Structure 1
């Protein structure tokens, strides 16, 4: 029985992880949860799972949750809050496996703390490796900790890598749907609205990640993650547009062989793979088996970097490393929010990021505190760029 801590238990990855626990109750038990602001969902999860510890975003919400526990007669669940509470959840001594799925840098300290205490990590938080990957990878090596990717693309690469040694890998291919604008004329990009950008052709996701998919910044972040997870330079991490989203990624070996990972587009599968690794478990009861009829058409194409400048910027940041990657993520988050609020145009997103990167140093932070300080500085820079280069409400 693996005892789990789930960072981001009320989000999509967290709820999918709990679904796996429902399907395999003899294998996985969630004993520590870190929720965000959704106190009602957090309460329902505690009612079902009775964890030892739950962390909620604020002290006020923690008090509210404790009142709900008292009214329902729930005892024995420790309620903590804030960043320190999330660290408490991630480092609980009884925990065997930590699912890191908090969006943004909010989960960074807890994930790093979990690595340093020797926990196996199921990593679904892009920002951890983008902003602090150099530190996290070094700590994982020092403490002999397995970092098992849950993102479908990196999970697919991890599976394909089992077909050879790292020295036998020629390059890896991360697949991308291409988002809603892969065939949109470039002349129309200036007029793209938030409503149009939020209509993803394949996945239902949160707003920021949906916009990141439309700009292909999401794939750029994945390039940086892949470089760090698999110890590869950026030139050995390629991106291919694959609209069907049935091949999740590919690994090309030095002898010319290519292994592809194909499965249903259901996040429970990569979660189960990470939780069970190095085993594979029978997922018949979870309905995760693939219908081969879906392979009737497979299209692949090279992304146009003129159409997707965010992908180019990500490759440049990956080559530089350090604060460039931190600034890439921070500036993107600020720019995407500004776009959704109608304060900058769609192409204002890469323009903002590029201007921030031009003002970013080449330093490599030596601590998580320095990473967080660089993150705050990049966000301030992005706000300044937006204030000076864009004005008024666009639509």
Structure 2
């Protein structure tokens, strides 16, 4: 029985993870949850799972949740809040596997603390490795901790890499759907609305990641994450636009062989892979994830257009520049996407803002999580300044 601490329990990854706990009650059980601001869902999760501890965003929400639990007669659930609460969840002694699924750098401190505590990590938060990859990976090596990717692309690469030694890898290929604007005339990009950007052709995701998919900044963050996870230079991490999204990523070996991972577009599969690794669990009758081979009848691949998707170019440049630039890339994007969704910035204002912030960022590599967070804050302030101007 794996006892799970789930960071981001009310989000899509969190709820998919809990659905797997339902399907495999003899294998996985959540003992600690970190929620956000969704009080109703957090309460329902406490009612169903009776975790030892749950963290919620604010002190006020924690008080409301504790009151509701008490009124319902639910005891034995410790209610905490904020960053300290999330760290408490991530480092709970009884937990042996931590699913890191809090969006953005909000989950960074808790994920780092979990690594230092020797927990196995199922990583669905790419921003952690983008912002603090060197620190997290060094801690993971020191603690002999496995970092198992849950992002579908990196999970696919992890599976394909089981087919050969690391020194036999020539390069890896991340697939991208191309988002909703793959064929949109460039002249129309200035007029793209938030409603249009939030209509992803393949996946159902949160707002920021959906917009990031439309700009392909999300793929850019995945390039940086892949460099960290698989110890590869940016030049060995390629992107191919694959609209069908049936092949999730590929690994090319030095002898010319290419291994591809193919599956349904359902996040339960990569989550289950990470939770059960190094085993594979049969899903018949429990979690239907059967792939329809007819979907392979037509497969398209094409090179990404950097003029259409400048965010992808900016990500490669940040990856080659320094850790500070990777931090700035992510932070500036988060601020710019929020401004776009709130009608304060046009769609093409997102890459313009990122490019300005990157140009204003000094080369460097933070030596601590506190320095990472400070660099992140500076980049956010810089982005707000550019948007305000």
Q: Distance in 2 between matches of 1:330 and 1:79?
A: 30
The Cα shift of 1:205 comes to: 1.2
Offset from partner CA, 1:305-340 (integer Å, 9 cap, x none): 011000000000111131100000000011111111
Matched, 1:383 2:350: no
Whether 1:332 aligns to 2:333 is yes
Residue aligning to 1:393: none
Distance (whole Å) between structure 1 residues aligned to residue 195 and residue 384 of structure 2 = 23
Alpha-carbon RMSD across the aligned residues, in angstroms, is 0.7
Q: Secondary structure at the match of 1:162?
A: helix
Q: Secondary structure at the match of 1:287?
A: coil
1:343 match: 344
Moved over 2 A (4+): none
Tell me the residue number matched to 2:369: 368
TM-score between the two structures when normalised by the length of structure 1 = 0.97
Structure 2 residue 20 is matched with structure 1 residue 13: no
Offset, 1:268: 0.4
Distance 2:292 2:26 in 1: 28
1:65 alignment partner in structure 2: 65
2-side partners of 1:298 and 1:156: how far apart?
Answer: 17
Q: 1:250-269 to 2 correspondence within 5 Å?
A: 250-269=250-269
1:362 alignment partner, SS class: coil
Deviates most, 179-188 or 235-244: 179-188
Alignment of 1:1-395 (within 5 A): 1-284=1-284, 285-388=286-389
State the Cα distance separating 1:95 from its structure 2 match.
Answer: 0.6
For the residues of structure 2 that align with 1:40 and 1:190, how far apart are their CA atoms? 39
Tell me the CA shift for residue 219 of structure 1.
0.2
What is the deviation of 1:70? 0.9
What is the alpha-carbon distance in structure 1 between the residues aligned to residue 70 and residue 352 of structure 2? Answer: 51
Distance in 2, matches of 1:321 and 1:165, equals 28
TM-score in terms of structure 2 length: 0.99
Unaligned stretches of 5+ residues in structure 1: 389-395
Q: Mean alpha-carbon deviation: is it higher for 338-347 or for 259-268?
A: 338-347
* Distance of 1:33 and 1:47 partners within structure 2: 12
Post-superposition shift, 1:129? Answer: 0.6
Distance 2:64 2:338 in 1: 29
C-alpha offsets along residues 138-161 of structure 1, whole Å, 9 cap, x if unaligned?
111111100000000000000000
Unpaired segments ≥5 residues, structure 2? none
In 1, Cα distance between equivalents of 2:189 and 2:79: 47
SS of 2:61's equivalent in the other structure is: helix
The secondary structure found in structure 2 opposite 1:350 is helix
Aligned residue pairs: how many? 388
1:208-250 deviation per Cα after TM superposition (whole angstroms, max 9, x unaligned): 1111001000000000000000000000000000000010000
Question: What's the offset of the Cα at 1:182?
Answer: 0.7
Q: Distance in 2 between matches of 1:44 and 1:337?
A: 29
Deviation at 1:191, TM superposition (A): 1.4
How far does residue 45 in structure 1 lie from its aligned partner after superposition? 0.5
Cα distance in 2 between the residues matched to 1:47 and 1:312: 46
Residues 324-367 of structure 1, C-alpha deviations (whole Å, 9 max, x = no match): 00000000011111111222211111010000000001110000
- Residue matched to 1:391: none
TM-superposed CA distance for 1:293, in Å, is 1.1
